[in-house]
Structures are given as structure tokens and as C-alpha cells.
Amino acid sequence: MNRAQLIQIIRDKRSYLCVGLDTDPLLLPTSLKDKPDGVLLFNKAIIDATRSTCVAYKINTAFYESMGAQGWLIMEETVRYIGEEHFIIADAKRGDIGNTSRQYAAAFFSQLAFDSITVSPYMGEDSVKPFLSFPDKWAIVLGLTSNRGAADFELLDCEGTPLYEHVLRKVSSWGSPSNLMFVLGATQADSFIRIRSICPDHFFLVPGIGAQGGSLREISEKAMNKDVGLLVNASRAILYASSGEDFAAAAAKVAGNYQAEMATYL
């Protein structure tokens, strides 16, 4: 999916909601826990419940890789079920020497048909560039994350500037706003105005609302640009809005509430 298509979907739906499919087999409703295809059935129900209110889905690959070969098949089928009308993110946080990154890119873009993949920039330009060589595909590079450990490296003072700012500036030169996004944690909203001045045109993938406590209003007011420039992710708040058999209806309600709020900021 290219940038113009993504922007159009956001405008048409009046939404920049991304639903995280971080499906934990241990948290499935009782009726699905003992079924061999329980995770896939759960994903399909969540997708059906949220298609109309979200513009993107983010699949955290760890939840599928932990299931072995069957997990990869479930992930592949989930991507296929989502289809081409939504932006699909592989939250895989890859990044290695160039020839290895090329294989990662081929796996997620050619074999699994994701639109984008999260990437760690720690190993530098040659580890990121292979993800930028596929037409209409995106690398979503870790910028400023919302976990406690962000202080260990991302916030380190580096010649008077936090290290993550150096990362944003440097990585921005490797691609363009048409194939590069940045991950920015919702709980770091105080930094968003500064970050937007550094990357005025790039999209930001923002996890951390809902269960992690980030403010949708604050994110929208501080980080939106002329093209919206945001994909705000909610995972647990939607997936596990109910632990009962009404999980899909509950997910639809929460996603609808997010979309309704987003519409007021557009």
C-alpha cells in the first residue's frame, strides 16, 4: 500500500486506528481454547468486528512464532483474511547485516504479503536499507519507545541531544516519508512536538494507548500533520475487551469508540 492510498483510507474512514493482533492462546474465550484453530477463529472474529473502524492491523509475530510452524500458518492465513483494504504491519523488530535483512524483507513482503515491518536501527544503514527496496512497502523504524528500558539507550544524552533524536534524523535520510515510518510510544507524548519538528512529513506508529495509558487526545494534538501522519495502535484494550463469548461485540464497541474520538480530531 502506498502513501496516497493510506492517506485516502484514513480520510474515508475518519480513523487512524490500528488494531494489534497480539493474540495469546491462553487468553482465548473458553469456546475457542481447546480448538486447534482457535487463534485463527479468534483473529477472524476480531477482524470482522473492527474492519469498518480501523485502517490497519499490526501482527506481533512473537505470538505466532512461539507456536512453531503452525503459528506461521496462522499468521499467513490472518494476513490473507485481512485482505488489501487495510495496512498490515509485521511487528517483528528485525534488523541485521544487509544480506540477512534482505531475507527478512523477502519473507515478510514477498511470502507473507505484509505492507510494512518494524525494524531496529541499531546496526545502521545497511541493516535497514534492504527493507526500503520493495515498492509500496514500508520500514517502521524504532524511534522512541514506551517501555521502561527506553531510558537505557534511547534517552541517553549524546552531545546535548537525546540519542533517539540522532536516530530519527539519520534514518530519515535513508528513505522518504513514502517508505519510512517511526515507532513512537504513546506514553512519550511530551516529546511529540519536538519529534514532529524533526520529522514533519513521516507517519508515526504509536502504540501505548488503552492498556498502557497513553492519551489519544494528547497524541493527536501534538503529533498530527497535514496528512494525519498517525497510526495509533490498540491491542489488549480491543482484543480482550471481554473475556467471554461476547468478545467480538466488545471489541467492536471499543474500536468504534476510538474511531469516533479520532473523527473529532480530523
**Catalytic residue at 93?**
yes
Is 51 within 8 Å of 255 (Cβ atoms)?
Answer: no
Is 125 within 8 Å of 174 (Cβ atoms)?
Answer: yes
Query: Looking at the chain, how many residues does it have?
Result: 266
Q: Residue 203's closest CA among 225, 185, 175, 174?
A: 225
The DSSP code for 189 is G
Q: Please provide residue 61's backbone torsions phi and psi, each rounded to the nearest 5 degrees.
A: -65, -25
What the block records as the C-alpha cell of 195 is: 519529534
| SS3 label, residue 93 | strand
Q: Which of 93, 129, 222, 253 is catalytic?
A: 93
Please report, to the nearest 10 degrees, the dihedral formed by the alpha carbons of residues 33, 61, 144, 201 taken in order. -110
What the block records as the C-alpha cell of 79 is: 494476513
Q: Please provide residue 206's backbone torsions phi and psi, each rounded to the nearest 5 degrees.
A: -120, 100
Is 220 within 8 Å of 5 (Cβ atoms)?
Answer: no
Active site residues: 93
